[in-house]
A and B are shown apart, each in its own frame.
Chain A
Amino acid sequence: MIQAILVFNNHGKPRLVRFYQRFPEEIQQQIVRETFHLVLKRDDNICNFLEGGSLIGGPDYKLIYRHYATLYFVFCVDSSESELGILDLIQVFVETLDKCFENVCELDLIFHMDKVHYILQEVVMGGMVLETNMNEIVAQIEAQNRLEKSEVSAQLVCLMPLPISPQGGLSAAPARAVSAVKNINLPEIPRNINIGDLNIKVPNLSQFV
């Protein structure tokens, strides 16, 4: 079982912190710092396995890490996981990130921390390996992103020139509007629209989806 997944940079700043076993907040931060110090001491040409620090787990746990440019990816696992397998898993995770973000770099991880969590959720769930097929993971993430985008754009229904048609008038508008604006990516939700002498206040259309 994987107990924790930590990603931090060469100066110890955390970029992704995910624990699969509950620790209080201060202990979590302490673990991140301790792991950073342990991993920093390692040369580049020695093995990628470390006996864990004193805080996380016990003698059964070890740290498996990989160093990519400016980032350390550290998985804290117990003896039920295959060490070499976890090394491959880290590689799969990083390659998936690469596919989702187009040549991922540290800045991507910084500014899209939530997205990184969502990607991780497709790979590891509850401390166990869920899926290792990169294509599936990427497909799933993309579907979810589309879903999210469609929700955002559905709130801009009222921007569309509403054809006042005999088909139910305004009340039928929402369904058609959704399909109409599905592919429009509008950056902002305007609050007040002045079209001529029409003063339309954009309602909260959260019941759309």
Chain B
Amino acid sequence: MVVPSLKLQDLIEEIRGAKTQAQEREVIQKECAHIRASFRDGDPLHRHRQLAKLLYVHMLGYPAHFGQMECLKLIASPRFTDKRVGYLGAMLLLDERQDAHLLITNSIKNDLSQGIQAVQGLALCTLSTVGSAEMCRDLATEVEKLLLQPSSYVRKKAVLTAVHMIRKVPELSNIFLPPCSQLLHECHHGILLGTITLIMELCERNPAALKHFRKVVPQLVQILRTLVTTGYSVEHSVSGVSDPFLQVQILRLLRILGQNHEESSETMNDLLAQVATNTDTSRNAGNAVLFETVLTIMDIRAAAGLRVLAVNILGRFLLNNDRNIRYVALTSLLRMVQSDHSAVQRHRPTVVECLREPDASLSRRALELSLALVNSSNVRAMTQELQSFLESCPPDLRADCASGILLAAERFAPTKRWHIDTILRVLTTAGTHVRDDAVANLTQLIGGAQELHAYSVRRLYSALADDISQQPLVQVAAWCIGEYGDLLLEGACEETEPLQVEEEKVLALLEKVLQSHMSLPATRGYALTALMKLSTRLRGDNNRIRQVVSIYGSCLDVELQQRAVEYNMLFWKYDHMRAAILEKMPLVERGGTQDEEAKESKEAQLSEAALVATEPQASKLLDLLDLLDGTSGAAQPPPALEPSPGGTLVHLLDLPCVSPAPASIPNLRVFEREGLQLNLSFVRPPGTPALLLITVTAINTSGADVTHFVCQAAVPKSFQLQLQAPSGDTVPAQGGLPMTQLLRILNPNKAPLRLKLRLTYNHFGQSVQEIFEVNNLPVETWQ
């Protein structure tokens, strides 16, 4: 007994009757089993019904692949009912990747040539939806023939199928280009619509086609004019506008044809003006046409008056109550902002208003447009608006808004202070959403703005005291407090309110950052380094800092542990070097490795120290062997450090002993007596024009050693002199290892150099003392 199969409606009833997902699945599985059995049995009568049911469950998400072959059978059947469902199944279930797909080519071919109108329509529809490149190539000529069929229904579908074919196989443009001009003479709107789409596709792919179709511009203008001026036609009108879809398509094609082409643009000018002024804008359809007109005007070489009209129309739309209109207006303005910047600027206040919309789509568009409109004259006002937007905007827009503000600030910042303020504000409001390089940029910026150090560190300190959860902010604040801690404690800064900060509070804050579970490992690293730097900047004793550092020596995080252990070493073994190592950092070049490790950057500084003037440092470790007073001036070279007896780190700190290479000045022999010679060699480092390095070399060619050798020097008051410790106090006999001593002379006024030397030593059993002035100093030493 054959169980009569369910009709589609009955199946749907049953599925809807299922109370739970599991029940529904059960019903569907049972039915699918029936369907599969029916397909196996090959029942031709009910095949279409089975496939219809299968397509329904496919829509609900259940697997339906076993119906693919059935689609083929149905398409091959002569009945219209079968074909209808078969083609629908093919469109929904088949695609280029299945093999079954190619098998329908033959059926389609037959249907295209022999079928009745409705069947031809079905075949064309399927071809345009799932037609692969091979299918298109095979059936191109068939479709071309159909373009000349008497039935407008078929022609209309054939034209759109042609568009699809060209997309798949661009070479077919040659076949479909000639019929276009003929088709444009049609009265049927459907065919016209399809033809215009076809022409647009041809023009976009082929510049030669573009030139060819420029000839039809007058014809298009005529068609559009007829549409616009014809009275109310019930057939094609949508809310009183006659066939807005066709109007929009024509306008779009005119835009493509008129771009960069004076002649075509001129032909269109009048018509565009007419459409722009006469279209009824009370309903959506009219607005659609108007928008398209505006976009076309802006893209072609339109007359200036027309462009002004277009921008004004957009401005009007921005004020419209309908949100859809405002959205489209914002989108259009965004397209124009590059080419007509000043025109769009006029609408800036309205755009900024739209930022406050509760509608997410609208505010997103407004944000993009606002960011594009920022320029140097309105940057302050715009940033203000954008920042208040940032405080209240939805989370998915925050990252874009924050990075947009930072970018705009970077490009147009009027003053450094404003820039720092802006970045600070963004970090406080949306710190977690900024990009990673914002921290680096801010530290770079602050480092470069010397006059704002005190101001920045105070602001950052207050911000940090309020909230330690925003990581980028915490990182920058920690770095600043470490670098400029002394300025923080110093007292008043005229740009902020007087803030009495105590050392203990600063240390407590940094410790809080270190211990907070909100801090990332990187942030902790910043805080730890900052604490170390403060050990030299603050005046109090360092017990607290030493304690923290030693605790972190056993931290679980490897990076922190390593830092803490090294810093601990600094306290214990290399205390004398600590100040030099923790000096203020020089400004790192933008784009270079931004390394926050104090030690590493300090190494960089040390190797360049001879050539680079560094910032004033508060280190107390000045071991100068001065005869004359060396006051701490603006740019002072780092102090001459005693070579450490430890030896291993000597090369790091051995700054001036490395004789730099630049411009050579001839050596000078200044003294000779009984085999003991004294030579002076001069070096003027190119980076510091006021600096002169003199190396005093003592050579002993006599038979007896020279012992207890001490050399002292004096220069006029305007100079600054530093003597390094000599390499030894014995000059061995017989031309042995010479003794050297380095003199550093700073001559900021470029005054003529005068040098007096005093020597005391023992030679041949006698103690000798010599005082003499060095004559014949080469001019290059002081000019």
Q: Is B23 an interface residue (CB 8 A)?
A: no
For A154-197 the 0/1 string (1 means CB < 8 A from B) is 00000000000000000000000000000000000100000000
Q: Is A104 an interface residue (CB 8 A)?
A: no
**Interchain CA distance A13-B190 in the complex, whole Å:** 33
Q: Is B245 an interface residue (CB 8 A)?
A: yes
Q: Is A143 an interface residue (CB 8 A)?
A: yes
Query: Which residues of the partner chain A approach B8 to less than 8 Å between Cβ atoms?
Result: 111, 113-114
A126 near B79 (CB under 8 angstroms)? no
Picked from A82, A85, A126, the residue with its CB within 8 Å of the CB of B129 is: A126
**Interchain CA distance A118-B235 in the complex, whole Å:** 21
Picked from A48, A89, A92, A132, the residue with its CB within 8 Å of the CB of B324 is: A48
Query: Which residues of the partner chain B approach A85 to less than 8 Å between Cβ atoms?
Result: 244-245, 248, 288, 292
Q: Is B703 an interface residue (CB 8 A)?
A: no
B244 near A88 (CB under 8 angstroms)? yes
Q: Which residue of A lies closest to B360 (CB)?
A: A46
For A26-42 the 0/1 string (1 means CB < 8 A from B) is 00010000000000000
B361 near A49 (CB under 8 angstroms)? yes
Which candidate, B51-59, B217-225, B609-617, B655-663, is the interface stretch facing chain A?
A: B51-59
For residue B439, give the distance in angstroms from its CB to the closest CB of chain A.
28
Query: Which residues of the partner chain A approach B248 to less than 8 Å between Cβ atoms?
Result: 82, 85
For A79-95 the 0/1 string (1 means CB < 8 A from B) is 00011110111011000
Q: Is B705 an interface residue (CB 8 A)?
A: no
Q: Is B291 an interface residue (CB 8 A)?
A: yes
A206 near B78 (CB under 8 angstroms)? yes
B326 near A47 (CB under 8 angstroms)? yes
A46 near B284 (CB under 8 angstroms)? no
A110 near B16 (CB under 8 angstroms)? yes
B84 near A88 (CB under 8 angstroms)? no
Query: Which residues of the partner chain A approach B193 to less than 8 Å between Cβ atoms?
Result: 129-132
A152 near B81 (CB under 8 angstroms)? yes
**Interchain CA distance A118-B238 in the complex, whole Å:** 22
For B231-259 the 0/1 string (1 means CB < 8 A from A) is 00001101000011100100010000000
Q: Is A69 an interface residue (CB 8 A)?
A: no
**Interchain CA distance A129-B159 in the complex, whole Å:** 12
A118 near B245 (CB under 8 angstroms)? no
**Interchain CA distance A202-B666 in the complex, whole Å:** 125
**Interchain CA distance A202-B199 in the complex, whole Å:** 54
Query: Which residues of the partner chain B approach A100 to less than 8 Å between Cβ atoms?
Result: none
Q: Is A50 an interface residue (CB 8 A)?
A: yes
Q: Is B378 an interface residue (CB 8 A)?
A: no
For A104-146 the 0/1 string (1 means CB < 8 A from B) is 0000001101100110010001111111110110001001100
For B32-73 the 0/1 string (1 means CB < 8 A from A) is 000000000000110000001001101111010000000000
Q: Which residue of B lies closest to A113 (CB)?
A: B56
Picked from B9, B88, B153, the residue with its CB within 8 Å of the CB of A117 is: B88
B157 near A130 (CB under 8 angstroms)? yes
Q: Is B358 an interface residue (CB 8 A)?
A: yes
Q: Which residue of A lies closest to B245 (CB)?
A: A132
Picked from A22, A84, A131, the residue with its CB within 8 Å of the CB of B156 is: A131
For residue A52, give the distance in angstroms from its CB to the closest CB of chain B.
11
Q: Is B148 an interface residue (CB 8 A)?
A: no
Query: Which residues of the partner chain A approach B324 to less than 8 Å between Cβ atoms?
Result: 47-49, 83-84, 87
B163 near A126 (CB under 8 angstroms)? yes
**Interchain CA distance A16-B358 in the complex, whole Å:** 31
For B329-367 the 0/1 string (1 means CB < 8 A from A) is 001000000000000000000000000001111101000
Q: Is B197 an interface residue (CB 8 A)?
A: yes
B118 near A147 (CB under 8 angstroms)? yes
A121 near B125 (CB under 8 angstroms)? yes
B161 near A113 (CB under 8 angstroms)? no
Query: Which residues of the partner chain B approach A47 to less than 8 Å between Cβ atoms?
Result: 323-324, 326-327, 359, 361-362
**Interchain CA distance A83-B289 in the complex, whole Å:** 11
Q: Which of A14, A84, A118, A209 has the most CB of B within 10 A?
A: A84
Q: Which residue of B lies closest to A50 (CB)?
A: B361
Given A47-B327, A206-B44, A209-B80, A87–B284 Cβ distance below 8 Å?
Answer: yes
**Interchain CA distance A206-B73 in the complex, whole Å:** 14
Q: Which of B61, B95, B193 has the most CB of A within 10 A?
A: B61
Picked from B81, B156, B197, B358, the residue with its CB within 8 Å of the CB of A46 is: B358
Given A84-B328, A151-B81, A209-B78, A132–B12 Cβ distance below 8 Å?
Answer: no
A129 near B16 (CB under 8 angstroms)? no
Q: Is A17 an interface residue (CB 8 A)?
A: yes
Give chain B interface residues in 137-169, CB to chain A under 8 Å: 153, 156-157, 160-161, 163-164
For residue B339, give the distance in angstroms from its CB to the closest CB of chain A.
17
**Interchain CA distance A135-B243 in the complex, whole Å:** 13
What number of A residues sit within 8 Å (CB to CB) of B?
Answer: 55
Given A82-B288, A126-B164, A144-B84, A133–B79 Cβ distance below 8 Å?
Answer: no
Q: Which residue of A lies closest to B131 (CB)?
A: A126
Q: Which residue of A lies closest to B204 (CB)?
A: A80
B161 near A88 (CB under 8 angstroms)? no
Query: Which residues of the partner chain A approach B59 to less than 8 Å between Cβ atoms?
Result: 14, 16-17, 113
Q: Is B519 an interface residue (CB 8 A)?
A: no
Q: Is A103 an interface residue (CB 8 A)?
A: no
Q: Which residue of A lies closest to B324 (CB)?
A: A47
A125 near B245 (CB under 8 angstroms)? no
For residue B5, give the distance in angstroms from its CB to the closest CB of chain A.
13
Give chain B interface residues in 74-111, CB to chain A under 8 Å: 77-81, 84-85, 88, 92, 95-97
For residue B695, give the distance in angstroms from its CB to the closest CB of chain A.
66
For residue B54, give the distance in angstroms from its CB to the closest CB of chain A.
11
**Interchain CA distance A128-B193 in the complex, whole Å:** 10
A135 near B235 (CB under 8 angstroms)? yes
B60 near A126 (CB under 8 angstroms)? no
**Interchain CA distance A127-B164 in the complex, whole Å:** 9
Query: Which residues of the partner chain A approach B291 to less than 8 Å between Cβ atoms?
Result: 82, 84
B238 near A111 (CB under 8 angstroms)? no
For residue A41, give the distance in angstroms from its CB to the closest CB of chain B.
9
Q: Is A102 an interface residue (CB 8 A)?
A: no
A82 near B292 (CB under 8 angstroms)? yes
Query: Which residues of the partner chain B approach A117 to less than 8 Å between Cβ atoms?
Result: 88
For residue B696, give the distance in angstroms from its CB to the closest CB of chain A.
72
Query: Which residues of the partner chain B approach A43 to less than 8 Å between Cβ atoms?
Result: 358-359
Q: Which of A110, A111, A127, A131 has the most CB of B within 10 A?
A: A131
**Interchain CA distance A90-B433 in the complex, whole Å:** 38
Q: Is A204 an interface residue (CB 8 A)?
A: yes
What are 16 sample pairs from A and B whose C-beta atoms fall under 8 A apart? A22-B130, A47-B324, A50-B361, A82-B292, A85-B292, A92-B238, A110-B16, A114-B8, A125-B161, A126-B160, A126-B164, A128-B163, A151-B80, A152-B81, A206-B77, A206-B79
| A residues at B contact (CB < 8 Å) | 14, 16-18, 20, 22, 25, 29, 43, 45-51, 82-85, 87-89, 91-92, 110-111, 113-114, 117-118, 121, 125-133, 135-136, 140, 143-144, 147-148, 151-152, 189, 204, 206-207, 209
Since A113-B59, A128-B197 are in contact, a sample of 13 more A-B pairs with Cβ atoms closer than 8 Å, ordered by chain A residue number, is A22-B97, A25-B58, A82-B252, A83-B331, A84-B288, A87-B324, A89-B245, A114-B52, A125-B157, A128-B194, A133-B190, A147-B80, A206-B77
| B residues at A contact (CB < 8 Å) | 8-9, 12, 16, 44-45, 52, 55-56, 58-61, 63, 77-81, 84-85, 88, 92, 95-97, 118, 121, 124-125, 128-130, 153, 156-157, 160-161, 163-164, 189-190, 193-194, 197, 235-236, 238, 243-245, 248, 252, 284-285, 287-288, 291-292, 323-328, 331, 358-362, 364
